[in-house]
Amino acid sequence: MLMRGSIEKLTAREVEVLKLIATGRSTKAIAHSLGIAFKTAACHRSRIMAKLQIHNVANLTSYAIRLGYVEIGGNGRSSDKQSELFERVRTAEAKYRRAMEEYGSFLLERETIGLTNPDGSTGARRLRQAEEAAHQEYHGTLVALKNFLMGQ
């Protein structure tokens, strides 16, 4: 996934933005805190993700912690709590990916046999509800991780 030495590709500003992303700041908040335009902050964020080949905030946060850009011990919380939160995020993300894949496969299968209204099917509703529930769980774990990292 990550190439060795990939952090060397980041500019000093991109490292600064990476640190802010890893502490849970939105693109708008990053732009405000750095005194730059929203589009500039969004561009930095996109370039960081492309350079590191990491395309979600949870993995960017994990990467920044591993490299020491974000301090997690300073908030008085135990490393056990940190490990538990990261595991919850990984588990929830995997569950969410599976649910999306199952729902997508179901829709594709229905489409190949000429059925165009997936919402009329009990199976589709069940898969869609499972996907929504998995998304909510994943989002909740990311919020918990953000709060932990910000010391809230």
Confidence (pLDDT) at 3: 43
- Across the range 91-118, mean pLDDT stands at 81
First to last CA, the chain: 31
Per-residue pLDDT tens over the stretch 40-89: 999 999 999 999 998 888 888 888 888 878 766 554 445 677 777 778 88
Confidence (pLDDT) at 73: 55
| CB 96, CB 135: distance < 8 Å | yes
| CB 57, CB 21: distance < 8 Å | yes
Q: CA-CA distance, 99 to 8, in Å (whole number)?
A: 36
The reported pTM is: 0.48
Query: Cβ neighbours of residue 14 under 8 Å, at least 6 residues apart?
Result: 44, 47, 48, 51
Q: CA-CA distance, 77 to 117, in Å (whole number)?
A: 49
Question: Which pair of tokens denotes residue 95?
Answer: 């569950």
Backbone angles phi, psi at 29, to 5 degrees: -65, -35
Question: Which pair of tokens denotes residue 38?
Answer: 């929203």
